[in-house]
Structure 1
């Protein structure tokens, strides 16, 4: 929410930069990095809850390209068994 209203596909830099650092830190040798992170906060006690998925195919606007997948695999290599089908098909 920005300025009192929701905006689609807009994530503030203050959120993106720390998330990128967390993603790099959580990358698994041969298992890649997570492709989806969901963060929620419990309104009762303001506890932050996170869930990370290493195989989820992202839905992006604009969509990811084969070059994006190649760069992802170069930065975060995956063993064949740890590479989801959607990544294999983009190679």
Structure 2
């Protein structure tokens, strides 16, 4: 389900479209608009709150353009091995300046915690390397705790593990290392059994000073 990387120009265009939709939904006299998008797998939660002229904050039904636009950005901002963001907060203040913050690793404040299948789907749709799966995510997904390369090394005797005679990779006088491919040299920590190499880190803040209107 991973989508092609969204170009920066396209990301900026969709960001403005989402902002214009929020302003239309807020109505006249707004003082602040805040939208929060939370998602994992197929589970999606969106909240929009508007602060009016009297200073009171009230909820607004999320426009379809906001839900779909942020969903497209989540897919388009995926990075191989790194995953994509799990929550985004979009804030607009007069005269129209806005900021968008993306969070890929901290657990969102769910209204209803998604079931384990949602987190399993997230890893299928947006695969992450072992080092990029937070501990809380592992618990939610029902995954075993991460095993660090240091722990793996601590349980491997010096010189590697001797295979029984006739083993698939046994060669006379040559110890077998778990991280050694057939006939090859041992790979460094993280090459096996971890997934793809970590890609570029996701931005945690996308500031802009233009009026989304």
TM-score tier, shorter chain, comes to 0.7 to 0.9
Indicate the structure (1 or 2) with the bigger Cα radius of gyration.
Answer: 2
More helix by share: 1
Q: Distance in 1 between matches of 2:127 and 2:117?
A: 14
Runs of 4+ in structure 1 over 3 Å off: 1-5
TM-score by length of 2: 0.38
Whether the aligned pair in 2 keeps the contact of 1:42 and 1:49 (CA below 8 Å) is no
Counterpart pick for 1:6 among 43, 46, 58: 58
In the alignment, structure 2 segments of 5+ residues that lack a partner are: 1-24, 28-51, 143-213
More strand by share: 2
Q: Secondary structure, in 3 states, of the residue corresponding to 2:128?
A: coil
Q: Secondary structure, in 3 states, of the residue corresponding to 2:59?
A: coil
Q: Secondary structure, in 3 states, of the residue corresponding to 1:74?
A: helix
TM-score by length of 1: 0.81
In the alignment, structure 1 segments of 5+ residues that lack a partner are: none
Counterpart pick for 1:28 among 67, 70, 79: 79
Q: What number of residue pairs does the alignment pair up?
A: 89
| 1:70 matches 2:110 | no
Q: Distance in 1 between matches of 2:111 and 2:69?
A: 21
Q: Distance in 2 between matches of 1:58 and 1:12?
A: 21
Counterpart pick for 1:81 among 131, 141, 145: 131
Shift of 1:85: 1.1
